[in-house]
Each structure stands twice: as structure tokens, then as C-alpha cells.
Amino acid sequence: WTKKSLAQRRLESLFKEGKIDPDDKPGTVYDSDPEFQKYTKDVFRAHFNKIKSKHGQFLNNEATETKKRDADLFEFSEDEDSDNNSVINLLVNTPMPAKPVPPHPPIKPTPKKLKREGKKVAEPILTAVYNDPETLNERVIIVAILPSGCTDVTFTVGDDGNVAFIHYTWPSVMYNTEEMFEKWLVTRKIECYHPKIVAISQELEKVRDSVEAAPEGVIRVQLPISVQKDTRTFVKNGFEKRDGSKVFMVELQAHQKSYAITTEDKCIEFERW
């Protein structure tokens, strides 16, 4: 589905010609044309809502109701007209009182409150350095909590060995608007073309290449010391707890210190042939 596709042009034409009623459901329009049925319902619904938002159809009913309420608010009978006009003139011609100036400046928060507001906060990521008891080399351990439901988790170390990256695919509830708003859609409190659902769908266009693609996330971890990039030195573990927590743990090898290098490591033996 592209901007120049036949389905896009037909759907645009239906909206421009007023052949789609504001109360029409995406499924009804989808079933009316075989050209639309070449695509999945999710793809069609996303473009249907986008074009409907563009033409402002779902706002027409709200605008009509607002105008009607405004007209009713200022509609008077002939008997009430003179009295109401007197009240309106009184309100218009009466000057507004000046805003009182507070006698004292705002009270500053107490030191105790500042202390509570200044408490330490951090993302659920921990890094620590320890010495391997066998080799005496320094190692870095990373422990992180990933979003529940994420998939395709990968781990890499930056070129300089000072930064690590944890890549993952978003949980489907974060990019599938039907799952995201299921509570309200099932009870029909809102429809799939509600402005907030359309706004979320438009925002998702900024973080993925197509309507069927799952967005990717990344966690950047600043390492306390430089580590080796050789993946053979990585020790990776991942597990899920009963409460749904997704724990990622990896251990990295630091560059070897001269103190930890033994004589055996430096010696070269020559074989006789």
C-alpha cells in the first residue's frame, strides 16, 4: 500500500466525493471493493483512519453538537429578551476587579521535602567490576530488566569497548493499537477511528518502516571500564521470573593487566625437528 497505489486513490476518491458516511465502519468499506481486500485488514484500517482524520469526518458530529449547544445557550424568548439584554450589558460594562497581589512571596519547600524530591532514581540497569578469582583479570557484569513481552534480544559492544548496547523488538501491545485499546474497543466506549487512536498510529509511523513492522528498541549501557569486543569472551544469560520480569545478564572480559600475566604466558618453547 503506497500513496500512488490504486487502493489509496480509490479510498481518497470515496472520501472526497462524500460516498463514505462518518458512521461507516472500516470493515464495511473494506468488504465493498476487491482492491482493498488485496491487503490485510490491519493495513487497510490504518490507512482508512489516516485518510478519515485528514478529511476531518470524525470531527463533524462533534462540531455540529457544539454549534447546537452554543445556539441554545444564547437563544432567548421574546419575554426574556429585555431582561437578558440588561444582564448582558451589565456584565459587559462592569470593569473586572484587579487581581489581588499576594501579601507574601510563595513559601519555599522545607529541607525535608527537598530531600524527598531529590532521592536517587535510576533505570533498572546495574554494572559492576569484579576480579576473576582464577585469572585475576577484571570482569564487568551487567544486569538489566527488559520490557515484558519484548523479543529478538541481541547484545553488542561499541568499537571503543566503553559502551554496550542491548537491542530488542517492542512488545506487540506497544505497536498494535487494537491490543493497546482493547479494553475500550471491546466495550465499544470508543471506535477504532477515535482521535487518540489515530494520533498513536501516526506517531508509530516515526519509529517503524511499515504498518506491519515491529519497532526496535535499544538500551545504551555506559561501562565502568573498557572491555574486549571478542564475543567469545562474553558470558550471556537471560531468564524470566514468575512475576513477568525479563532479566538479562552478561559478563565481559576486561583487557588483561600486566600484573596478571604469568611467566608461562610469556615464554615461547621451540620444538626440535
Mean pLDDT, rounded, for 177-197: 85
Rounded-to-integer distance, Cα 269 and Cα 265, Å: 11
Q: What are phi and psi of 143, to 5 degrees?
A: -125, 125
Q: Which of 247, 246, 171, 179 is nearest to 216 (CA)?
A: 171
Average pLDDT over residues 50-61: 63
pLDDT classification of 128: cutoffs 50, 70, 90? very high
Dig out the grid coordinates for 262 from the structure: 604469568
The reported pLDDT for the residue numbered 111 is 47
Quote the pLDDT of residue 63.
Answer: 43
- Residue range 57-109, pLDDT digits in tens: 544 444 444 444 444 444 444 444 444 455 445 444 555 555 555 554 554 54
- Average pLDDT of the segment spanning 186-208: 86
**What pLDDT does 67 receive?**
45
| pLDDT on residue 3 | 79
Give the chain's mean pLDDT: 75
pTM of the predicted protein model: 0.50
Sheet holding 138-146, edge to edge: 125-131, 138-146, 246-253, 235-240
pLDDT digits (tens, 9 = 90+) for 13-28: 888 887 887 778 888 8
> In whole angstroms, what is the distance from residue 144 CA to residue 92 CA?
63
